[in-house]
Structure 1
Amino acid sequence: MSFIHPALLFGILAVSVPIIIHLLNRRKFQRVVWAAMRFLRVSVEQNQRRMRVEDLILLALRCLLVALLALALARPALRSAAGGLLGARVTGLLLLDNSYSLSHSDGVASRFDKARQAAEQVVNAAPVGSALAVHLVSDTVNAIVPEPTHDMNLVRKVIREARLSDRASDLLPVLKQSVDTLRRARGMRKEIYLVTDTQALGWRQLGEINKLLISARQEQIKVHLIMVGEPAPQNLGVSRLRLASGLTPINESLRFEAQVSNYGREEVRSVKVNLSVNGDPPMDETVIDVLPGGAAKSVSLFAKLRGEGFHSVAVRLPPDRLPADDRRSLALRAVKEVRVLLVDGDPGREPRESQVFFLRHALQPVPLAEASQYFVKTTIITTPDLPGARLDDYEAVILANVSEFPEASLAGLQQYLRRGGGLMIFPGPLTLATSYNELLGKKAGLLPATLGAVRGQAESEDQFFTLQEKDYTHPLVEIWNDPGAGTLGSARFFRFFALQPVPWKPSAEPPENQARNGAPGEAGEPRVVLKYSDGSPAVMERAWGLGRVILFSSTANTAWNDLPVRPAFVPLVHRALGALAQRQDEGLNVRVGDRFIYRLANEHLGKDVVIRHPGEPTTAQRDLRRVELVSGTPTLRFEGTDHSGVYEASIAGDAARTIKFAAQPDAAESDLADLSADQFKMLESAAQLIRWKPGVSMREWVERERVGTELWLPLLLAVVLLAVTETILAQWFSRTK
């Protein structure tokens, strides 16, 4: 047995009070000779023994009542077999959740502020001689005090200085790692304190977590789940931001698509959404009239990029109590022009008969007089001219009905793709599938699919195939999920090559090494961009080196299909060109927590790079990295993307070369829905669950768990029973005999 308030045991000394009163109240007799006294004496002698016994019974009851009251105030408790002695030292892990849902505020303090207060109370409740480690947890573990330390001042300091991140939460791997750590630790008493909020997302693998907690309890590892924060019924957030235009020319109106989600149950009206570039005042703004609860809506916003180089675009909502998702950023690189080499496999006798006629007009959708001023610059050559062409002068090369690719140009094409070039292939009647499959497929490993048998009849307009009309998943065609963007399903395909995706096995090498090695087994995974309505691939792509290859299954003119005369052809071609030309800039936008990797020119090798985190320029955190050689290419790598927003990387000695990249948070973390009552019960069955609020004593909660079952209530009931018994007996003993 142990006592939570042992100092109050001194109250047992009050047992002496009834005894002293009893002694003081004893009658002192004076002998007086009186004849009548003889009769009284006989009466007293007859009752004296009974009265003495009654007085002693009442005295004992009063002493016991005082002693039990003192014990109840000292709060005794029975310790479990694993408990040990009161004050036994604890070896513990303090896990402080710093995922971005804890940035939610009640108007006075954020959940993270409350979590730090609760964590400090845990430290203060630790018995003398205990050792604690401190880990910041989200979807990863940041061990700020890696091993348990006896220096509680250090523990308090790191808790007060802990920073919130914009990461999502995933508590199963966090708890697994913590339990494994304590299994290896020494010490009789091992405890885990997880300070988090009540958001259900982090507990999405609750069944596995519950099994883990039960297993830990069986191994004498106590787990305390300390939950802070009140329910958050309403929240709006920017759940997605992307460039819808495909290309990023300067001084052209670019369309951006932002998705706003209502994570609450009630509808919200008049939601203002604005877009700004490089932190300047908003360039565009729109209003969502009604956004129902649980719904999401996409809006289009427009902006211009005024100069070449890197830019940042941000979409904002009016601030609410979860600020982390009220803004979403995108980094991109603006270009002055995009140069495209069109290889015409069959020029024909008239311009309209050319294989690239529709391609050229789609790439330059302006009057002929303005074509020279348009940002897409096209150069047209024929197949015999291909070996002499300088591919590095172009951002993309498009083959249209080219019978076979010259083997002499294969090495140059591979080198071009390794450096970040793009290749687009439109087959046709002249295409020799066997040559493509052998040379560009088996030998070079460039093709995402082999060209199979030809399906359909070009001469028959009554029988045709169509493209899928919904459920677009590839980024190149996702915009057609919005009915307002038009449709791809209206195009008719009379003849096409069956595309058979090539087998692919992930390389064991890191991605940054794979990107520089063009070997077939290390090319990117083949992906279906677009399907026919029967599910067969219509367009496929794969990354190769720093470049990309896009393979269509039908012609670029109207010989086998009527897609070139459909409204969707122009945006489809522009988005495909954007995927080729901006392949090396895809890494400018990463998910919060992911590594940023960017390849640089040879002159930057070995130079220092200062990386400024999101925030005000004067106060933002800065890190230093060096451009290193990775698989023969100067590469900048940065893994500290714990906060959403725009980062700036400045290369020493090159003031004009500042790279902007953006980290975007996981939109799922914006859903603040709480655990259900049944889920809380499941957790309570496997661990101690504490719903912490300001003013709650963590010491009381934790020590109650340590000492076991408290006995103060039974003792207090015994005190009441004794008081009633003493009163009844006192009245009974004092009755007239």
Structure 2
Amino acid sequence: MSFLGGWFLLGLPLLAIPIVIHMMKKRQRDVIAWGAMQFLRDPTRRGQRISQTDRWLLLAARILILGCLIGALSQPLFHATRSSGVAGLPMQVILIDDTRSTLADGRFDEIRRTADQLMGSFPTDTPIEIWAIGNPPRRIIDEITDIGSDATNVTLSQIRSSLSDYPPRGGSGNFTDAVHRVVVASVEADKSRRELHNEDFAVDTPMDVWLITDDTAAGWNPPLSASAMLPDPNHRLHIIQACKPIPPLHQWCVTAVESSRRTITTNDTIEVSATIANLGTRPSPKVTAVWKHNGRPVAETPVKTLQPDEQLSLQTETTVRSAGTHEFKFELKPDGGAASDPMPDDDSGHVVVSVVGEMPLLVIKGPGGPFDQSPSDADFLAAALGRNSGAWASVSNDMASDGDTNNRRNESLFQPEVYSVTELDDLNWHRYPAIVWLGGVELPPDVLNRLINRVRQGAGLWITLDSKTDRGSMNDVLNRRVFNIPTESRSQSDDRANGIIGELVVNYSHDQLQRIHPPEPTDSILSPLSDTERLDLDLVRIRRRIDLHPPRGHASSRVLLRTFEGNPVAILSGLGRGRVVLQALPMDPSWSNFALSKSFVVWVLQVLDHLSQPVGENYNLASGQMFRKNVRETDHEYELTTPTGQTEVLIALPQFGRSLNQERADQTAGVVRFDRTDQPGLYHLKDTDGDTAPIVFSVAGDPSESACFVDSTETLTRLADAPRVDLHRQSTGIDLHSIIATLPEDQSRGPSGTPLWPALLLGLLIAISLETFLAGYAALRRYGRLRIRDTDPIAVGTNRSDLHSPSPSDIPRPSKGTLV
């Protein structure tokens, strides 16, 4: 019991006033007997007995009035239970680590138990906020219940129940940023709570932050500092390492699963690759890798023993027959007798491939001459795509399977539509996710503006150069419109031509012919082209090319393909949302035999796949990246199933800022968005009203979070040197009650507990009503008795004045013979 106005208790002696008055009324009085009293003696004695009872009841009621008044003014607080000896603690913010490293060896369960014990150690009236500190941080009470983030009266039982039901996300983490964001949000929550309880709030209000994590270095990204985590000097950080180290073991980790292309057509063959690493401290056992297509096993590959920190890449090929989104899964299953993996969640990976019918490809060419009979660049491009452009009737047999009589199997995803410069006036540019500008032919200004605007909106642009290219005009377009680099910025002393495009380079002798350097196997765009054993890139020779000068200081530009001498063959750059590839040679065999090789087909497909991705729908996301799906209708419901089996209902919203031509081009008016993709795994989006197959998209995890054997002790020890940071390790023992007992109280908050003064005010009103009733009832019984009694022969029908003042005529005269 505590009192907010304890000095009002000094008024307790006032309770003696009714007692003194009662005793004064009971003092002895002198009794004078007179003759008429014999008629009133019995009624008077009965009235005195009744009056004594009334006086005692009135005395109790008046004491109760003073007692309730003094008690209400003192504002008492009642404490039903106390979990510790600390009262009036400031806001306590509990952060639990739910990143991928906590999924190993039941570590998250230990973190959950420690957080529950910590909450049980606080007084029941302590304000508590509990968050999951993965990326991004989540308020747990909002994840499990529908209370809402602005709730200020959440009970401790609700918080503990939400913690027990919370599933870990297993994603990435950045604890420095997460702690700062959570502290700022908790300060606002504390401010709202104080306003609700009419308490004062100060910017220097103290706060304790409890970060419960494991012993791994995952999430502790440098630089680390207490000032970056805690924005106020009155905030304190308590780090609890609740997990013991994992014994030395191997640890498989599927670091990446990739497909050669993200969008293909039906009956197309795709290559899927996976990278495996051993992140443990012991050599890994032999295992078997299983490849699955939409849950159905399609291939198995044996995996050799890997030493610690060793990696291995595996590939497989498969053909997709139907349209839609297709999931390819790679997982490891231990052979008999192999040691178990401490983290089985990272022993598998996914990639999703979109299979569509066709995708239009705009090909811009110059006006042809009347005597052009040889295949043009458009013909070579159409042949590489398995199409017949119309000018060249033959199709290379090298691009068809033996015995295949169905040309449809040779057709790629992209359907080229060839237009000359003079046919682009009424073109709907929004239909094309990728554009090929052959020869860099000069375009009218209005057509060039529409082309650049379309690329900025997300379309890809592939520019090939030849001897007819106006290098001055093209340099002006590239420098000003693409790279935003003025020509004057280049040094005048440079012996190379100003601009991106240089002079024509001709290799006359056979010994001077240049070869193309294979891309690295880790190249995210051209990794299939690095397989020189199956492809013939090593047989490609370049006789002529345009000298390219990569832009200096342009962050989004890089050399995509080069010769062995280091000369750029193709440059990749970004323009708005779109991408641009500049190729230093045409597809004419007189320049190079590249267009006649099998490697050219792979080159064309990989470049077009990369260029068309920004406007295409991405079904392979990084953690935290928003998922977008264009749909035909708005205000339509879709059901999303997360990797943990939870379901959410999404509503298709209108796509603002889209023109009518854009909606007609892709026949979509709405969009479905989902931004809470912080949990790795597969998500399924299903139309609630249709019977179509669900749409699948994948979220990849951070492989660095799987490093369970990288100790964070040294990092946290340096962080704990700060005066506002305390480090507690389970290995040395953690006494939560002793730690909480050392916390300073929040003097601005004052005593806390259940207020009793409302009940006392109610008791005061009841006591006043009781005293009024008793006083009136006592007066009625005492002074109204002579008016209601009819048994007294003196009082009935007799006036009091007549009794005391008899008239002489009213005195009866004695009769004769009577003795007086």
The normalised TM-score by structure 2 is 0.63
Alignment of 1:227 onto 2:242: yes
Question: Alpha-carbon deviation of 1:477?
Answer: 1.6
Give the direction of change, closer, same or farther, for the CA distance of 1:347–1:168 in structure 2 (3 Å limit): farther
1: CA distance, partners of 2:370 / 2:610: 29
8 Å contact from structure 2 (residues 507, 543) kept in 1: yes
Structure 2 residue runs without a partner (length 5+): 1-83, 142-148, 191-201, 335-340, 387-397, 488-498, 660-669, 746-820
Give the direction of change, closer, same or farther, for the CA distance of 1:698–1:609 in structure 2 (3 Å limit): farther
- 2:163 partner SS: helix
Question: Alpha-carbon deviation of 1:304?
Answer: 2.6
Pick one of 98, 111, 116 that aligns with 1:115.
Answer: 111
Matching residue's letter, 1:621:
T
Matches within 5 A, 1:697-736: 698-700=735-737, 702-703=739-740, 706=743
2: CA distance, partners of 1:427 / 1:222: 61
1: CA distance, partners of 2:485 / 2:360: 23
8 Å contact from structure 2 (residues 618, 627) kept in 1: yes
Question: Alpha-carbon deviation of 1:625?
Answer: 2.9
Structure 2 residue aligned with 1:137: 133
Pick one of 286, 293, 315 that aligns with 1:270.
Answer: 286
How many pairs are equivalent?
594
- 1:104 partner SS: helix
8 Å contact from structure 2 (residues 562, 568) kept in 1: yes
Matching residue's letter, 1:161:
D
8 Å contact from structure 1 (residues 247, 577) kept in 2: no
Q: Which structure has more strand as a fraction of its residues?
A: 1
2: CA distance, partners of 1:596 / 1:219: 40
Question: Alpha-carbon deviation of 1:398?
Answer: 3.1
Structure 2 residue aligned with 1:621: 647
Pick one of 351, 356, 363 that aligns with 1:335.
Answer: 356
Structure 2 residue aligned with 1:171: 175
CA RMSD of aligned residues (A): 4.2
1: CA distance, partners of 2:420 / 2:486: 22
Bigger mean CA deviation after superposition, 535-544 or 120-129? 535-544
Pick one of 706, 723, 726 that aligns with 1:670.
Answer: 706
Matching residue's letter, 2:633:
H
Structure 1 residue aligned with 2:377: 355
Question: Alpha-carbon deviation of 1:663?
Answer: 1.2
2: CA distance, partners of 1:352 / 1:396: 26
Give the direction of change, closer, same or farther, for the CA distance of 1:645–1:692 in structure 2 (3 Å limit): same
2: CA distance, partners of 1:325 / 1:261: 11
2: CA distance, partners of 1:421 / 1:283: 35
Matches within 5 A, 1:88-103: 88-103=88-103
Give the direction of change, closer, same or farther, for the CA distance of 1:142–1:373 in structure 2 (3 Å limit): closer
- 1:119 partner SS: helix
Question: Alpha-carbon deviation of 1:457?
Answer: 1.8
Structure 1 residue aligned with 2:506: 457
- 1:291 partner SS: coil
Matching residue's letter, 1:497:
I
8 Å contact from structure 2 (residues 124, 156) kept in 1: no
Structure 2 residue aligned with 1:530: 561
Pick one of 347, 350, 358 that aligns with 1:326.
Answer: 347
2: CA distance, partners of 1:275 / 1:688: 47
Question: Alpha-carbon deviation of 1:236?
Answer: 0.9
1: CA distance, partners of 2:720 / 2:483: 56
Matching residue's letter, 1:681:
T
Alignment of 1:197 onto 2:214: yes
Pick one of 261, 277, 290 that aligns with 2:277.
Answer: 261
2: CA distance, partners of 1:290 / 1:448: 55
Pick one of 136, 156, 160 that aligns with 2:164.
Answer: 160
1: CA distance, partners of 2:680 / 2:575: 29
Matching residue's letter, 2:424:
P
8 Å contact from structure 1 (residues 465, 492) kept in 2: yes
8 Å contact from structure 1 (residues 246, 574) kept in 2: no
Pick one of 568, 572, 597 that aligns with 2:599.
Answer: 568
Question: Alpha-carbon deviation of 1:448?
Answer: 14
Deviations 1:518-569 (A, max 9, x none): xxxxxxx555433455656432345667764432122223333343345532
1: CA distance, partners of 2:680 / 2:486: 34
- 1:230 partner SS: coil
1: CA distance, partners of 2:369 / 2:686: 48
8 Å contact from structure 2 (residues 206, 234) kept in 1: no
Question: Alpha-carbon deviation of 1:200?
Answer: 0.8
1: CA distance, partners of 2:639 / 2:553: 38
8 Å contact from structure 2 (residues 679, 699) kept in 1: yes
8 Å contact from structure 2 (residues 86, 741) kept in 1: no
Question: Alpha-carbon deviation of 1:592?
Answer: 1.8
Matching residue's letter, 2:120:
N
2: CA distance, partners of 1:341 / 1:348: 23
Matching residue's letter, 1:127:
P
Matching residue's letter, 1:627:
L
Alignment of 1:690 onto 2:728: yes
> Highest Rg: 1 or 2?
2
Give the direction of change, closer, same or farther, for the CA distance of 1:453–1:689 in structure 2 (3 Å limit): same
8 Å contact from structure 1 (residues 138, 170) kept in 2: yes
2: CA distance, partners of 1:414 / 1:289: 50
8 Å contact from structure 2 (residues 516, 562) kept in 1: yes
Give the direction of change, closer, same or farther, for the CA distance of 1:381–1:118 in structure 2 (3 Å limit): closer
Structure 2 residue aligned with 1:126: 122
- 1:200 partner SS: coil
Pick one of 321, 331, 354 that aligns with 1:306.
Answer: 321
Deviations 1:251-303 (A, max 9, x none): 2332101111111122223222222222x321122111222221111111222
2: CA distance, partners of 1:221 / 1:703: 12
Question: Alpha-carbon deviation of 1:178?
Answer: 4.7
Give the direction of change, closer, same or farther, for the CA distance of 1:215–1:628 in structure 2 (3 Å limit): closer
Deviations 1:406-455 (A, max 9, x none): 55644664676578654422211111223434567746889999652224
Question: Alpha-carbon deviation of 1:88?
Answer: 4.8
Alignment of 1:496 onto 2:492: no
Bigger mean CA deviation after superposition, 247-256 or 378-387? 378-387
8 Å contact from structure 1 (residues 331, 662) kept in 2: yes
8 Å contact from structure 1 (residues 625, 638) kept in 2: no
- 2:265 partner SS: coil
2: CA distance, partners of 1:101 / 1:338: 42
Give the direction of change, closer, same or farther, for the CA distance of 1:471–1:305 in structure 2 (3 Å limit): closer
8 Å contact from structure 2 (residues 171, 701) kept in 1: yes
2: CA distance, partners of 1:422 / 1:220: 50
Structure 2 residue aligned with 1:554: 585
8 Å contact from structure 1 (residues 246, 578) kept in 2: yes
Question: Alpha-carbon deviation of 1:461?
Answer: 4.2
- 1:268 partner SS: coil
8 Å contact from structure 1 (residues 114, 229) kept in 2: no
Question: Alpha-carbon deviation of 1:570?
Answer: 2.2
Deviations 1:197-220 (A, max 9, x none): 111121232x5236658997x646
